[in-house]
Structures are given as C-alpha cells and as structure tokens.
Structure 1
Amino acid sequence: MWLSVVGLCVFSCAPKLQNVEAPIEQVEDFSFTGTEAIPEKWWTSFNDPELNILIDSALTENLNLAATWEQFMAAQAILRREKSSLWPDIELVARSAVSRPEPDFAGGENFQAGLAAGYEVDLWGRIRAGIEAEEFRAEASFYDYQAAAMTLSAEISATWFQLLTFRKQLDLTNRQIETNEEIIRLIRARFTSGQIRAVDILRQQQLLESTRDQKIFFETQLRLLQNQLAVLLGRPPQNLSITPESNLPDLPLLPETGLPLELIRRRPDVKQAYNQVLAADREMAVAIRNKYPRISFDLSAQSRSNNYGNLFQDWAYTLAGNLVAPLLYGGRNRAEVDRTEALKNQQLFLYGQTVLNSFREVEDALIQEQKQKERIEVLERRLNLAQKTNKQLRIEFLNGLSEYLDVLLSLDQEQQLQRDILEARQTLLEHRITLYRTLAGGFETERTDSEEF
C-alpha cells in the first residue's frame, strides 16, 4: 500500500519531458526548388578536386574547429560526471597517529582504517533529470561542432572561389594592359602625322595607368586571400604557397529545397537550439523536484587498534538512513522554479527565432541566386553591345567621323564590364554556397568517424 502511494506521487508530481514546438505560425513551402539532391558533403557538387582536398584538410587541421570539438569532449565529461551520481560513493579511510608521551595515552586509538559509502535514492527522478539536462547539453555541443564544420567548409569554398576569381581578374587585367599599351603605340604614330591630338594620348595613358592600378589591387587581394586560406587550413600564411590550377566551376543544378519542417530536422544550428530548450526543461524539472524530500543511506565499517597487528580484528559497523525534507526556505525553492521556467521560455523563444532565421536564410539565398542570374544575363548583353559599339567607333574614328574620346570611353566601359562579369559570376557561386549551407545538414568528419567517438 505504502509503495503504491509513493509510486503515485512519483508519477504525478514529477514533470515529464514533452515535445517542443517552435512558437511560430504554420509555414508554407519555399519560393523556389530544384530537383537535385544535396550530397552530405555538399561542396563536391562543384566537381573541384582542389577544393575537396582543401576542405578535407581544414576539417582536420583548423584550430577553431578543434577547439569546438574539445568543448564537446568537455560536455561529454560533464555528462559522465553527472551519471556517477546514480551510483554509491565509496571511500577508503586510513589514519595513523603517534601520541607523546605514550604512557599518558594508554589505550588510545592510534590506528584506524575503514570504508564509507553513501547513496541517495533518486525517488523523484531529480538526479536523472539532471543527467538528462547534461545529455541534451552534450548533444547541443555536438551540433555546435557540426555547425562550425559547416561554416568552415562554406568559408573555405567562398575564399577558394574568390581566389580563382582574382586570379582570372589579374589575367584579364594583364591582357587589358597589353591592349592599352598597343593602342598608345598606334595613336602616337597617328599623332606624328597630325591625325590625333596630344590630349587623346594623355587620356589613353590615363586609362593605361588606371588599368595598372587595378592590377595592383588584384595582386594585393590575391595575396590576402592566400593568407586567409592558409589560416583556415590551420597553417601560418608564410609557410603556405597556393597556386590555384582550377577554373571557376559551372553552377550546379538548383538543389531540392524540401519541406520547411525537413529543414528544422536537418540543420545543426536549429537542432542545437532545440536541445538547449530540452536541457532547460530538465533543469526546471530538477528545480521542481528539489522541493520534495530526499532519502539517502550511509554505511561505514571501521577498525581501530593501538598497533598494526590488531588493526583488522575488531570492526564497528554503522548503517544510517536519512530523510531530508525542505520545510522553510523563505520561498527560495519556488523562486528557483520560476527562474528555470523563465530560462526555459527564453530558450524556447530563441529556438523559434533560430527557426525563423533559417527559413529567411534559405529564402534570401534563393532570391539572391535567381536575381544574380538575371543580372549576369544583363551584364553579358551590355558587354556584347559595348564590344559592338567599340568596334563601330573605331571604324568611324579611322574614317575621321568620331572623336577619339568616344573610342576611349567605349573601351573603358568594355574593359570594366569584363571585370564586372567575372565578379558577378563569383558572387553567384557564393550565393549557391550560402544556399547549400542553409539547406544541408551535418556531415561526418574524421573526428566523428573515429572509433573513440
């Protein structure tokens, strides 16, 4: 009868873990979707072997990612520590004392040895709730690691494509410099025959110097990106020299976005926020169960003697049961429950905000990619028109129908459009990287594949 009453109290008074829903309204499907499935290692969609090698190396060598993994290891250690509370604590006690003058302490207990054990009965599930809280925190820490790995792979991909773009910009600028130098030689020859003004030569020289200035800028950015990539790989910049051999890849087919609820179950940052809510819920359960009585047992066995020879002949045993019930704490326990409930609600709202942010990131990436494709089409049409205009103006100039200033302005516009298109294509790849990062889930790394993990 008594056991039935206790069991009823346990199951009726202890708060249970419930499913957590984000406090947001029902969501509709994403604006765009494709048909291509996203591979676990999404960067392989670009079919760039050099990029694959760089990311594989960074996932092993990057120091920030290694630090995040150690944070997860610390969370695992905390979990093991909390689980030890389910077992009795057993201690070995040994004591030796020498008293002077000896005759004054005849019959004194100078040697002592024994064992002591203590165990708390988890009657209301308070200890298990604390363990569950640490389990959810450990899972959240693991998803932190997965999110950091995802961010790192995206950073390296973006940096790599920027590096390829600036290398192509540098090659293009060198060709433009050669073109401008050749034009200067031609117009100087026409100047000697009186067919062109001196100011036209000066203007063409200005364009040449402007192109050389662009070259210096691209050379600087190329070196800075190499340094950035080296740090992402966990190496000193001065120890690593990267000479990219790849070209900018073609944009892969648009991936399938899936349902919004699938995104919630897939993204590591969303799962991290979800587990923080569950951990806060279990902390609240601990605070509630702290209001209930605690039952514990202490067992000790001791042997005492005046010499080592007789130390283990006589033993004394003690078994004690303890019942501790909160009686008057001035509202402290109630306040702790209110505090943990507020923290749980805080984590719930943060989880909802994380879900909203994830939806927005997908929508933003889809819209940006779509509009960037349209912009590239416009730029390509503008470049085509600029090339035709430049060709026509050169013919008119040679026939004395146009001023050289018109040719110069057209040439400058054409060269700038060539650079703009390269930059626009690189931006399009960055939007696709963002889309992959927002849609993809966590992936396995060398650390998570290890037998120890």
Structure 2
Amino acid sequence: MIKQLTLTVLAASVLSACSMAPKYTRPDVPVAENYETSSANASNAQRASDMGWRALFNDQRLQALISTALVNNRDLRVAALRIEEARSLYNIQSADLLPNLNGVATGARARTPASLTTSNSSVVTSNYQVGLSLASFELDFFGRVRSLNDAALATYLSTEEAQRSAHITLVSEVAKAYLAERAFAEQQELAQQTYESRAAAYNLSKQRFEVGASSALDLRQDEALTQNAKVAELTLRRQRAQAMNALTLLVGQPLTDLPPAQPLSAQTIRTDLFIGMPSDLLEQRPDIRSAEQTLLAANANIGAARAAFFPRISLTAGVGTASNELSGLFESGSRAWSFAPQLVLPIFEGGRNIANLNLTEVRKNIAVASYEKSIQVAFREVADALVARDLLDEQIEAQRLATVAQEERLKLADQRFQNGISSSLDVLDAQRELFSAQLTLVQARLLRLTNAVDLYRSLGGGLQETTVATAPAK
C-alpha cells in the first residue's frame, strides 16, 4: 500500500506540471531611448550601483551617521521584517505542493446497552489504530497550487527588493538631512556676523543721533536693519535645530559620540558616474525590480483564478494497523488501509469564479501601470539630476561673482557715505543685497551637493557600503 501510494503521489506531481497562468512578457519601456543631456560619460566612470557610499561621502561624521542609521532606523527595520513576513507566507504556500503526512494513533471504547443489541445483552467494543495518514492532498492538474506558489514567491522577492530600495533611500535621506543642517549652520553663522556688524553700526548711529550728527530717519533705518538681521539669525537657528531633529529621527538614536562635522564648503561628492541608457534602470533600481515582481505575482494569480473553473482532485489515504485489543495492534493480520480520492467540479458558483478572474486581470493591469510609472519616475529623477549637474556649476560660479560684486559695492557705498557723497540709504541697501547674496550662494552650494546625492540614488547607488571591484563601465 505504501508503495502504491508513493507512486500515485509521484504521478500526480508529474501530471500537475502544467500552469494556466498567461505567459509573462515584460512591458515595453515607456521612456525615451536616451537622456536629453549634453554631458557624456567619463572614460573611467563607475556605475553608481557598484560604488560604495563610503567612497562617495568623505565626511567621517556623515559616514558614521549613515552607518548608525542603517542599524537603528525604524522604517528600514520594518522593511527587513516585511521580508521575514513574506518569506514565511511563501513557505506556508509552498507547503501545499507536497503531501502532508501525519502519524495517527487512536483508541476508542464504547458500550452499547442491551436494548439496542440483538442478543439482548450489553456489548463493550474496543478499537485501536496506529498508522500514517495523507490528509486531502490536491492533485494540481491545472496548476492552481503552483500558480499560488509562484505568486507567493514573487511577492516575497518584491518585498526583498522593496527593502533594498528603502536602504538606498535611507542613505540618501541621511546625507541630504546632514547637508541641510550644515547649510543652515553656515547661514546662521553669516546671519550672526551680519547681526553683530549691524548692531555695532546701530550703536554708532545712535551716538551720532544723540549729538545731532544724523537724523531720526537714519537711526530708525539702522535699527530696522539690525532687527531684520536678528530675525534672520533666529529663523536660521530654528531651522537648524529642526534639521537636527529630522536627522536624529532618520538615524534612530541621539547624535552623540560622533566625529567633528565638516563645514559645507569642505563637502565634496563625486558626480562623474556612469549614466548608461534608460533601459539600464530596469536592473539598477530595486524599486523597479520590486514593481516587476509585483506584476509577476499578479500574473500568477490569473493562473490560479483560471484553474478554479476546472475540477479539483484530492486524495485522502491512510495505512497502519488496527485491532480491538491494544496488545494486538502489531500482530499478523492487523494491517489496515484506506484510500478516498475526491473530485469537486464547480457547477454553480453564482458568478464567483468569473468575478475572481476579472479581479485578478484588473489587478494585473494595475500592476502593469505601476511598473511603467516606476520606470517613468526613475527616468525623470535621473534626467532632472543630469540637467542640474550640467548647470549648477555655472549657477554657483555666477552667484559667487555676484557675491563678490556685492562686497565691492558695499565697500564703495561705505566710502561714498564716509566722504559725504551719498546717503546712508545706499550703504543699507548694499548691506541687504550682500547678505541675501551670501545666503543664496550657500543655498546654491547645498543644491549642488544634494543633486549629487540624488543622482547617486536615482542610478541605484547606496546599497553597497564599500566599492565593488568591477571593470570600468562602457
């Protein structure tokens, strides 16, 4: 009996190799074949996905922050736990591909009263059984179980890719939050210097007013300029503190025992990365790979929905020994077995199977649209970063020259005021314009650095801690 049962299960496994899921074809890439940018790849350019984030960021404090965040960030921890959840669900589903064998031992005693027996005397019966049982094993002739297993596997792989995407995003977000805090620190320092300078000018103006050397209008203008500088300094102090709070949340623990921070002007981030073609993003970006695995899962679910229209055949069997005496379980002639195949053919389901098939097809269409959208978003992120990379250096240089010009303007205005050629209004206006130009220059430098981080992330960089040794990209 065991041999016959084993052969039956093996034959069922062979016959159940077919699947009713549609043949998967990867959708066409809904973006241009090339990026519209004037920049070209350097001869020694490296793929972002192969470059470790330690090689990209030279600030030791930033490296320590990223390393700590990868351990303590709660969002990344949840993403890792989602992988364990999906793996467990896949293991549960894959168990249906194999028969479930159980060891069974039962014992029963029953007394039948005399009024219910033909012999007019009470009867006590005993029944003892020991053996193996096969509980309702489905013969997957139409691939229903196999399709569900494929869907569970694709869901698990999608979750794994989603965790990689969260890893990459966390690296870039920590870097951008740190750079923003450094920019606020530099702007706050500029605001503090400006406030101190204007406070000194205001005190001098007050003394001049007290001796009648200047008007009340000049005094109030100096006072207003001083208070505006104080407002700017307080605003930047608040923004810096909030940036620190955001960075602490990303890191997942208080920011203590860290290397000293470098100023924003000392930060350098490589931008000479290998860009490649838009189609390369399909392999470089884990969020796109996650969306494709979701699409594969939806495609497999269609196979399970189609198989529901066909008969389901299951086997229930058992083999062992049975006796009316406990001592006779393993005696000669006590062998017992059972074999109960079952066929269930859907006849009337009230439209349930048709609605379920329509549902799976709609979900596949949604997955296709989501997959295509993920490609379009990735393409735009890379294209935006490339455009900014080509123009930000020129913008910073222009802003630097504008700041230098404002410094010279302030010197000339102050000289003219000291010589009585022009009024203090020219000096005050030059001070305002210089302070604004200095803040804008810091903001432009921050934009260049954050754009470099965005380019690295959008090309799939950030998953590796150290650079992977590979041949130069071509």
TM-score class, shorter? 0.7 to 0.9
2:253 matches 1:247? no
2:285 matches 1:267? yes
2:343 matches 1:349? no
2:304 matches 1:298? no
Inter-partner Cα distance in structure 2 for 1:244 and 1:200: 44
2:386 matches 1:366? yes
Inter-partner Cα distance in structure 1 for 2:378 and 2:354: 36
Between 1:215-224 and 1:373-382, the stretch displaced more is: 373-382
Residues 199/251 of structure 1: CA separation in 2 closer, same or farther (3 Å cut):
farther
Q: What is the aligned counterpart of 2:401 among 381, 385, 401? A: 381
TM-score normalized by the length of structure 1? 0.86
The residue aligned with 1:121 is 139
The residue aligned with 1:66 is 77
SS for the counterpart of 2:35 is coil
1:37-116 alignment, distance < 5 Å:
37=46, 38=48, 39-42=50-53, 44-97=55-108, 99=110, 106-109=123-126, 111-116=128-133
SS for the counterpart of 1:301 is strand
Residues 135/101 of structure 1: CA separation in 2 closer, same or farther (3 Å cut):
closer
Q: Percent identity?
A: 26
Deviation at 1:386? 1.3
Q: What is the aligned counterpart of 1:20 among 26, 32, 51? A: 26
Tell me if structure 1 keeps the 8 A contact 2:13–2:139.
no
2:339 matches 1:333? no
Deviation at 1:28? 2.9
Inter-partner Cα distance in structure 2 for 1:15 and 1:101: 56
For 1:252, give the aligned amino acid: R
Tell me if structure 1 keeps the 8 A contact 2:13–2:140.
no
Tell me if structure 1 keeps the 8 A contact 2:129–2:322.
yes
Inter-partner Cα distance in structure 1 for 2:201 and 2:403: 20
Alpha-carbon deviations, 1:183-231, whole Å to 9, x = none?
Answer: 2344445446644323323322222222122222222222222222122
Inter-partner Cα distance in structure 2 for 1:32 and 1:322: 68
Inter-partner Cα distance in structure 1 for 2:19 and 2:200: 89
| Structure of greater relative contact order (alpha carbons < 8 Å, 6+ residues apart) | 2
For 1:344, give the aligned amino acid: K
Residues 25/434 of structure 1: CA separation in 2 closer, same or farther (3 Å cut):
closer
Inter-partner Cα distance in structure 2 for 1:240 and 1:225: 16
2:458 matches 1:438? yes
Q: CA RMSD in A?
A: 3.1
Inter-partner Cα distance in structure 1 for 2:17 and 2:105: 43
Residues 125/352 of structure 1: CA separation in 2 closer, same or farther (3 Å cut):
same
Note the residue ranges of structure 1 that are not aligned, 5 or more in a row.
1-5, 447-453
For 2:440, give the aligned amino acid: D
Between 1:375-384 and 1:320-329, the stretch displaced more is: 320-329
Tell me if structure 2 keeps the 8 A contact 1:365–1:432.
yes
Tell me if structure 2 keeps the 8 A contact 1:30–1:259.
no
Q: What is the aligned counterpart of 1:215 among 233, 237, 254? A: 233
Deviation at 1:12? 8.4
Aligned residues: 439
Note the residue ranges of structure 2 that are not aligned, 5 or more in a row.
1-11, 115-120, 467-474
Deviation at 1:281? 0.9
Tell me if structure 1 keeps the 8 A contact 2:97–2:145.
yes
Between 1:121-130 and 1:385-394, the stretch displaced more is: 121-130
Alpha-carbon deviations, 1:137-195, whole Å to 9, x = none?
Answer: 11110111011111111111111001111111222222222222332344445446644
